Amino acid sequence: MEAYLLDWLNLLLRWLHLIAGVAWIGASFYFVMLDSSLQKPARKQDEERGVSGELWAVHGGGVYQSQKFLLGPLGEPLAEKLHWSKWEAYTTWLSGMGLLIVVYWFGAKTYLIDSQVMVLSPTAAIAISAAVIVGGWVVYDGLCRALRGRDSLLAAIIFALVCLTAWGLFQLLSARGAYLHVGAMMGSIMAANVFFHIIPGQKRVVAQMRAGETPDAEPGIVGKQRSVHNTYFTLPVLFIMISNHYPMTYSHANGWLVLIFIMLAGVLIRQFFVLRHSGNASPALPAVAVVLLLSMVWYLSPKKIDGADGEQVSAQQVTEIVNARCVACHANQPTQPGFAEAPLGLVLETPEQIAQNAERIATTVQSRYMPIGNLTSMTDQERAVIATWYAQQQ
């Protein structure tokens, strides 16, 4: 019953996380587009009111006019009712942390620890998880403060920090857990930027506007810097959110390097769209991104196994391996703690069920995606036997 309820909690948190994430990133993308597309006000009186730029747009059967006031409207009060873009960020982070706790902390033995990488207790693995999330923000925020005004150097160091984190986590946690925690660190940095800098800075500026004072430029400079960082984090974080469905990426021996290449492709694609809004886009950016992604397609391509090589593998040999290493989870009534039902409804209790799912079994076993966290200690020799058996069926 506990595993069943945790499955429901997982589902509802994941759904909330997705909805809030769409709202947050959608708003972020919109305001980046808006800020990059602003034109000089067409009317002199708007410029005199303090409008620094405007955008006319058509959507949903209507025409919209968006105007930006750098220092608020001049000679008139600021509207009392303001929309604050913050709850999307907070809800995304809170739901994401809830999901991380339910899946990766409660299920640390299954999803966070891989004994073939490092033997850890659940407590130690959870401590590493929390340290990466908190420590990532502390280091990042310190770098932003120390390298104020040196944006290119700061960007390079932040990229190096993410790369180092990815490599380090692959030496400590399961590959799937490592990927997830790179994304959790980056997502936490994004949310913390909103909570600690962007929103407080905006509140300070609004208070100064209402008091009739000239707003301090400092909060705007800091907020702009952090918003830019958040923009370039979005596509890498979105990839990591879906990566657990694609073990071919993180299960590779150099999965951390694969992650870096894919994230870099995401940054280049995002840069293309940011520049496109202002009419300065270069086709070289998506071209390089495509080259990076295609290089990963080639790099990750599975090794072809010649079924004619070696001894003939019998169905009985494979059945014995599956019974020993897979059926604890993939059964009508799983015996592995934490599983209320067979993952993805895949039951492998009979030779017929194994034969029907031969390709699926061989692919996930060869990629090391299964068993999850290698809970049942499947050996490399057993993986080779299953791969050879499937090749001999072709």
For residue range 133-157, list pLDDT tens digits in order. Answer: 999 999 999 999 999 989 999 999 9
Residue type, 142: G
pLDDT (tens digit per residue) in 120-135: 999 999 999 999 999 9
Residue 306: its pLDDT value, please? Answer: 62
User: Each residue of 245-264: pLDDT tens digit?
Assistant: 888 898 888 999 999 999 99
Q: State the DSSP H helix or E strand holding residue 56, giving kind and residue range, or none if neither.
A: strand 51-59
Residue 85 reports pLDDT greater than 60: yes
Which of 47-56, 69-78, 123-132 is predicted least confidently?
69-78
Distance CA 186, CA 194 (A): 13
Q: Which of 84-98, 204-218, 302-316, 378-392 tops mean pLDDT? A: 84-98
Domain boundaries along the sequence of the chain? 85-299, 315-393
Question: Is residue 113 scored above 80 in pLDDT?
Answer: yes
> Residue 303 contacts by C-beta under 8 Å, 6 or more apart in sequence?
none
* Angstrom distance (rounded) from CA 240 to CA 259: 8
- Give the pLDDT of residue 373: 73
Rounded CA gap, 72 and 39, in Å? 17
Report strand pairing: 62-69 vs 51-59.
antiparallel
The mean pLDDT value for 367-377 works out to: 78
Q: Which two tokens stand for residue 15?
A: 């759904």
Contacts of 392 (CB under 8 A, 6+ apart): 307, 312, 313
Mean pLDDT for 215-219 is 87
Q: Is the pLDDT of residue 56 over 90?
A: yes
Give residue 142's pLDDT: 97
**Rounded CA gap, 22 and 92, in Å?**
9
Q: What percent of the chain has pLDDT over 70?
A: 97
Q: Minimum mean pLDDT among 47-51, 164-168, 170-174, 179-183: which range? A: 47-51
Q: What share of the chain is helix, strand, coil (3-state, %, to 5)?
A: 65, 5, 30
CB 48 within 8 A of CB 74: yes
For the entire predicted model, the pTM comes to 0.86
Task: Write down the mean pLDDT value for the chain.
Answer: 90
Q: In angstroms, how far is the first alpha carbon of the chain from the final one?
A: 42
Q: Name the burial class of residue 308, with classes exposed (0-12), middle (13-18) and buried (19+) by CB atoms within 10 angstroms of its CB.
A: exposed
Cα distance between residue 300 and residue 249, in whole Å? 7
Element at 361 (helix H, strand E): helix 358-366
Select from 328, 393, 382 the least CA-distant residue to 356: 393
**Phi, psi (rounded to 5 degrees) for 381:** -65, -40
Average pLDDT over every residue of 27-52: 91
Strand partners, 58: 63
Model confidence at 1: pLDDT above 80: no
Other Cβ atoms closer than 10 A to 7: 15
d(CA 270, CA 131): 29
What's the CA gap between 1 and 321, in Å, rounded?
Answer: 29
Residue (of 388, 328, 382, 316) closest to 354 by Cα position: 316
Q: Do the beta carbons of residue 371 and residue 325 sit within 8 Å?
A: yes
Distance CA 74, CA 50 (A): 5
pLDDT confidence of residue 307: 56
What are the helix and strand counts (H, E) for the chain?
15, 2
- Round to whole Å and give the CA distance between 153 and 175: 30
Mind listing the pLDDT tens digit for each residue in 375-393? Answer: 788 888 888 888 888 888 7
Report pLDDT for 305.
Answer: 66
pLDDT at 309: 61
pLDDT in tens, 296-341: 999 988 776 665 566 788 889 888 898 888 988 898 888 887 777 8
> What is the SS3 assignment for 271?
helix
Give pLDDT, residue 68. Answer: 93
